[in-house]
A and B are shown apart, each in its own frame.
Chain A
Amino acid sequence: MSTHEGGRGAARRVALHASLCLGAMLSLQSPAAAEVIAIVGGTVETASAAGSIPGGTVLIRDGRIVAVGAEVEIPAGASRIDARGKIVTPGLVDPESILGIVEVNAEPGTVDHTVANDHFGAVLEAADAFNPRSIAIPVNRIEGVTRAIVSPTGVAGAVVVGRSAAVNLGDLGNPVDRRHVAVRVQLGEAGAAQAGGSRTAALARLREALADARDYQRHHGAWEQAARRDYGLHHFDLEALQPVLRGEMPLAVEVHRARDIEVVVQLAVEHGIRLVVIGGAEAWMVADELAAAGAAVVLDPVANLPMRFETLGATLENAARLHAAGVPIALMTPMGRGHNPRNVTQGAGVAVAHGLPWQAGLAAITASPARIFGLEGVGQLQPGFEADVVIWDGDPLEVTSYPDAVFIKGRAVPMESRQTLLRDRYMERLGLPRAR
């Protein structure tokens, strides 16, 4: 597959493993080898303040980027990868994923992002369920996805539904980058449905959770001696909310209607909480309030239909308008959060076609999700950052483009998945020729 010039070095290394898929997978378990890789000649899209560097070099050592620029000295002994005519970007970061916590949606035994009872809420950890050996992971990483924010999506009878994790798609030894990057909440129609059918009840649940968590923290000694009032949530959940109250971690709230967003912005400001709006179909209508509150929005860039009464104002220009108003945005994959994070590029392309600047579109699936969820050293091509690098055969936001090579923490990913194996098996069976 990596027959292009640019991927030659990577392709050769990968070819060594490709004869035995398992071998290739296992190679990812070991820590990044002490090697130096120079990706030269490509148009380097850094997703950082450095912007775009034509004919640039990305120098990788020990799994980290050590230099990026037009004039980078390449040490002797470095593996050179010729990326002339290619586009080099950071690895993609899927900001709204259930990758690895679902295998087959219709088979309940493989589904870990929803919970059918409300014994626990905030304490639930996507990190615990994340399966780095999910079949869906190679399918997506060979198309450039190197990291994901994986989130629980619902608990029956609860509005605080668990904690999101940051994961990588290549390092089997250390698949979870950060166990907790946000506490996840459902409001709007979804939250109301879990709270008895009304938005007011959902908001009351959230306020109670925050008040209880604060009280629990302040009067922990008394609580230990059973000398404090009862709380609405399990003490595990109250513990889980502490980093949110301290402002160390955002509250990620699934909410769409403009007025619902305003209400939650106000609540976040009152409590001094960092807010990330998930979905936000009508966020463009309250862009200034969001910007003033420093809130970010993770949105679906193709959501333009009035799918529900809370999304009547949905538009393809949501991303562009929020960006113009100064609201940090990240773009989720259009449809298929468990299986097709790879389509974040298509979604970003659609947002760009509808007014989002191209650089902002790339950042919205790389640097921006990393920043929104507090992942340092990920999502940009910058010295000191982890070497998640993708070499594309064309504009990465273009639907016809594919990666020639993908690096996660400086290691070339085998460009193979169960889907490429199925493809090859049946193309051979049908006598279809295959260019290699």
Chain B
Amino acid sequence: MNQISLTMPRKRVAAVAIAFAATLLAACAAPGPGVPGSADATPGHGEPFRSVYVPASAPPVLFVGATVLTGDGRRIDDASVYFAEGVIRAVGTPVETAPGTRVVQAQGKWITPGLIDAHSHMGNFPVPFVAAHQDVNEFSSPNTAGVWAEHGVWPQDPAFNTARAGGITSFHVLPGSANLFGGRGVTLKNVPARTVQEMKFPGAPHGLKMACGENPKRFYGGRNQAPVSRMGNLAGHRAGWIAAQQYLDKQEKAAAGNGDPPPRDLGLETLAGVLKGEVLVHNHCYRADEMALMIDLAREFGYHPGTFHHATEAYKIADLLAETGSCAAMWADWWGFKLEAWDAIRENVAIVDAVGGCAIVHSDSSVEGQRLNQEAGKVMGAARRAGMAVSPEHAIRWLTENPARSLGIADRVGTLAPGMMADVVVWSGNPFSVYAKVEQVYIDGVLLHDRDDPATQHQTDFELGLLGAGGGR
């Protein structure tokens, strides 16, 4: 985690984070070659299409008497949470507040960090699901590392609002999984916006979407084009990295005054970004044996294998994932729709977690993304049945701190600690109950959803006028 600090130095947070990383979180936070290190020193990072997100100003808020899950494994009962100017100021004991602070009695309520969905297609596969909205897969070649998910994000996707009503405050939008190299993913804040730049999480690293297994070989094999087999998948991956190494090599030589830099190439730029540790790998991969191959692939080319997405067989190699420092972003119970999803089990997330790995519950769905808390609840029930009881304060990490680490933003969001962005969810009760309701959502301290106040419930342009009288999602 200390390796992925971005633009805002937060020493206290970092200290906590490092201590934490030394224990349970070592798995994900282990400094791998792919973890970006020095965005501070490279102000130009992310410069094209840069974030113009600026939170609105909002009065300071103090919650009193709540049950707080801090997101890093702690639970504090009868606790206060205080934030001002978009930043968490205090968690736990009462503190001195600024004049004008809104004080909220929150007895019986639970407060968690804003949830983070590590795998979303909101915006680039928006609803309605119509042909005009298919901006998730650039099906034109198995290597489209040069495309950027943010160029296909429609800020009027109604799913942003329902996700916010489910507590999602940040999320990573990935290109689809048809291609070996799908392109760059982008991390967004779940704020109403007119443009994607107004949603971009400031300073968050880009992701590189990779895919193994059935999807690339099925799609291109069906066109009688490489890859046709899993062998072809790996050959395609390796060819991509070889080219990226050469590209980077030329760039570095040119920088040292040795020859001309290579002509700019968007795809190689992305892959070279991974080799330089500036872009984080997000790898769609189901089977245990294939994840192991992808880990070796990363070793061959000297980058960190990053996060495995879907990872339905992560439980079979939970030890290897922990050792590698790779997170696994998983569903609670999707299975059987493809052969590579045939061996999924409900305890997958809990087993990855139990051996000290970085376990994430993700959605890949604008339906499930509205209730990641319930998905985690199903895992908790299954885990208990299997003799691995998981407490709420621990399970919340699957939805907060761990995805934040996967996305390289754990020094800014994912935990409730002084200095962190004030992304806060107030729940009607234990969030892992099917009956729990998100009562309020704050993003950077701004109230953007209040269940009891329709005026706060944003409607996208698309939704205006859609529902009849008595409507509401």
Binding site for B on A (CB under 8 A): 1, 103-107, 135-136, 139, 258, 285, 302-309, 311-317, 321, 334-336, 338-340, 342-343, 346, 349-350, 352-353, 397-402, 419-420, 422-423, 426-427, 429-430, 432-436
Greatest chain A CB density within 10 A among B127, B316, B337, B385 is at B385
Contact at B377–A399, with CB atoms within 8 Å?
A: yes
A175 to B435, CA, bound (A): 35
Structural contact, B467 and A432, CB atoms closer than 8 A: no
Give the CA-CA distance A432 to B387 in the complex, in Å.
9
Interface residues of B in 345-393 (CB under 8 A from A): 345-347, 351, 354-355, 365-368, 370-371, 374, 377-378, 380-382, 384-388
Asked whether, in the complex, the Cβ of B387 is within 8 Å of the Cβ of A335, the reply is no
CB <8 Å contact, B339 and A397 = no
B49 CB within 8 Å of chain A: no
Cβ 8 A contact of B128, one of A303, A306, A316, A436: A306
Residue of A nearest to B428 (CB): A353
- Whether B374 lies near A399 (C-beta < 8 A) is yes
CB distance from B164 to the nearest CB of A (A): 13
Query: For residue A321, which residue of chain B has the nearest CB?
Result: B470
Question: Closest chain B residue to A424 by CB distance?
Answer: B386
Contacts A312-B467, A349-B374, A422-B345 given; 15 further ones with Cβ under 8 A?
A304-B473, A305-B366, A309-B130, A313-B468, A338-B336, A338-B337, A350-B374, A353-B436, A420-B345, A423-B347, A423-B351, A423-B386, A426-B315, A429-B316, A434-B387
Would you list the 7 A-B pairs with minimal beta carbon distance, nearest first? A435-B387, A349-B434, A399-B377, A339-B336, A400-B381, A106-B338, A105-B337
B471, A400: Cβ atoms closer than 8 Å = no
Bound form: Cα–Cα A235–B388 in Å = 58
The B429-443 residues at the A interface (CB cut-off 8 A) are 432-437
Q: Do the beta carbons of A105 and B466 come within 8 Å of each other? A: no
CB within 8 Å for A399 and B381 given contacts A305-B162, A306-B158, A433-B387: yes
> Are the C-beta atoms of A307 and B127 separated by less than 8 Å?
yes
Interface residues of B in 148-180 (CB under 8 A from A): 158-159, 162
Cβ contact of A340, chosen from B127, B333, B342, B382, cutoff 8 A = B333
11 A-B contacts, Cβ less than 8 Å apart? A1-B385, A313-B468, A346-B378, A346-B434, A350-B371, A352-B435, A400-B433, A423-B346, A430-B354, A432-B354, A435-B387
Name the residue on B nearest A134 (C-beta): B336
Categorize the interface residue count of chain B: 35 or more
A104/B336 contact (C-beta < 8 A), A305-B158, A312-B467, A400-B377 known: yes
The smallest beta-carbon distance between B176 and chain A, in angstroms, is 15
CB within 8 Å for A423 and B345 given contacts A315-B471, A353-B435, A400-B377: yes
Task: For the complex, give the distance between the alpha carbons of A432 and B351 in Å.
Answer: 8
Is the CB–CB distance between A315 and B467 below 8 Å?
A: yes
Contact assessment for B337 and A106 in the assembled complex, using a CB-CB cutoff below 8 Å: yes
Report chain B residues within 8 Å CB of A339.
Answer: 334-337
* Bound Cα distance from A346 to B372, whole angstroms: 12
B343 within 8 A of A: yes
- Contact yes or no, B158 A427, CB < 8 A: no
A432 to B463, CA, bound (A): 49
CB distance from B163 to the nearest CB of A (A): 10
**Which A residues lie within 8 Å of B470 (CB)?**
321
> Please, which residues of chain A bring their CB within 8 A of the CB of B162?
304-305
Contact among A308, A338, A350, A402 for B385, CB-based, below 8 A: A402
B336 touches A427 (CB 8 A): no
Alpha-carbon gap, A352 to B437, bound state (A): 12
In Å, the complex CA distance between A135 and B380 comes to: 23
CB distance from B439 to the nearest CB of A (A): 13
Chain A residues whose CB sits within 8 angstroms of the CB of B214 once the complex forms: 106
A163→B273 CA distance, assembly (Å): 55
Determine the chain A residues whose CB is within 8 A of the CB of B433 once the complex forms.
398-400
> B472 near A400 (CB under 8 angstroms)?
no
Contact A399 B339 (CB under 8 A): no
List the B side residues contacting A304 at CB < 8 Å.
Answer: 162, 370, 473
B343 touches A422 (CB 8 A): yes
Min Cβ gap A33→B in Å is 27
CB-based nearest B residue for A404: B385
- For A420, A426, A434, which residue has the most chain B Cβ atoms within 10 angstroms? A426
The verdict on B318 contacting chain A, using a C-beta distance below 8 Å, is: yes
Chain A nearest CB from B438 CB (Å) reads 11
A209–chain B nearest beta-carbon distance, Å? 29
Q: Which residues of A contact B158 (CB under 8 A)?
A: 305-306
**Residues from chain A with Cβ under 8 Å of B437 in the complex:** 353
State whether A313 touches B338 (Cβ < 8 A). Answer: no
Interface centre among B129, B386, B387, B434 (most CB of A within 10 A): B434
Evaluate contact between A353 and B434: CB separation under 8 angstroms: yes
B374:A430 contact, CB within 8 angstroms: no
A64 to B123, CA, bound (A): 52
Do A399 and B432 touch across chains, with their CB atoms under 8 A apart? Answer: yes
